[in-house]
Structure 1
Amino acid sequence: MIRLKTGLEGRKTQFGVIQNRLEECGYHLGGNWDYHTGFFDRVLNREEGETIYIRAPFDVIAGMLDQDNASIQFKTPYIIKHVVNIGFDSEENSLLTSTFNQFQEPLDKDGRIPDKSKWQEIGVREVNRLLAILE
């Protein structure tokens, strides 16, 4: 994981407004949200079984996340790499199984990121795009 020092931390906005704008730019609400916290993810790179994301976590400071008018406050963004298991699912007996099971757990949810300075630069540039969307 690479934490990014940017101007995003502490910024406030309404969930419904920013969600629509971010989705247009390739961000998606992460699946592990609850009513009081969540994060927006965007794929930066995907090769074979490795995906590098930028993640913009936030807290809900008023309302609940399933409401468009909920107020959110961003926390420190970071770069993360997931390594998924490409291959046959040992639990599956079918000969029709593809080589990738989307429901398998990642082999590594926080894989080592080579060339950290490169990804840090890319991440800061991406957060600057996100900040422009907030304006």
Structure 2
Amino acid sequence: MKFDETGFEGQEVKFEHIQHAANACGFVHGEQWDYERAMFDYKIVNQGDTYYVRVPIYSIKGDIPRKDTICRLMSPLLGKHYYPHGVEYAGETFPDSVVTKAKSKLDLLKHTLEQEV
């Protein structure tokens, strides 16, 4: 599921600001990055199923994870995790409580990022 209207898609921000705001909201920047792209993930467990709210970013000037790298935020995604295959985004029916939690976290991230910048 793609969230197209969170208000920070296309925003260009230093990596350190994104990282600080995301960490403050419970998002994790794990080991899934290269020098041009990264994801910040928030894990939701609901009735034994695991979901991830993912905020993808990509570098437009500099290399991730340097603090001064300028990154563009992309539309967040909600996916369901299937062991051992990974996260699926399309063709899923997400529980209302998971979608509500995801939207709430994205709103918090937007607000926190606005204060950071």
TM range (shorter): 0.7 to 0.9
- Indicate the structure (1 or 2) with the bigger Cα radius of gyration: 1
Name the structure where helix makes up a greater proportion of residues.
2
What is the CA–CA distance in structure 1 between the aligned matches of 2:73 and 2:25, rounded to whole Å? 17
Hey, what does 2:107 align to over in structure 1?
128
Structure 1 residue ranges, 4+ long, deviating more than 4 angstroms after superposition? none
**Residues 114 and 132 from structure 1, CA distance in 2 versus in 1: closer, same or farther, beyond 3 angstroms?**
closer
1:119 CA drift (Å): 3.4
When the two structures are superposed, what TM-score results if normalisation uses the length of structure 1? 0.71
Aligned length: 111
**Residues 107 and 18 from structure 1, CA distance in 2 versus in 1: closer, same or farther, beyond 3 angstroms?**
closer
**Residues 35 and 125 from structure 1, CA distance in 2 versus in 1: closer, same or farther, beyond 3 angstroms?**
same
Structure 2: 5+ residue stretches without partners: none
Q: How do 1:27-106 residues align onto structure 2 when only pairs under 5 Å count?
A: 27-45=27-45, 47-48=47-48, 50-84=49-83, 106=84
When the two structures are superposed, what TM-score results if normalisation uses the length of structure 2? 0.80
1:108 CA drift (Å): 4.6
Aligned-partner residue type, residue 52 of structure 1: Y
1:109 CA drift (Å): 2.6
1:8 CA drift (Å): 1.9
1:118 CA drift (Å): 4.2
Larger RCO of the pair (alpha carbons < 8 Å, separation 6+): 2
> Retained in 2: the 8 A contact 1:18–1:134?
yes
What is the CA–CA distance in structure 1 between the aligned matches of 2:93 and 2:53, rounded to whole Å? 12
What's the Cα RMSD here?
2.0
1:23 CA drift (Å): 1.4
Structure 1: 5+ residue stretches without partners: 85-105
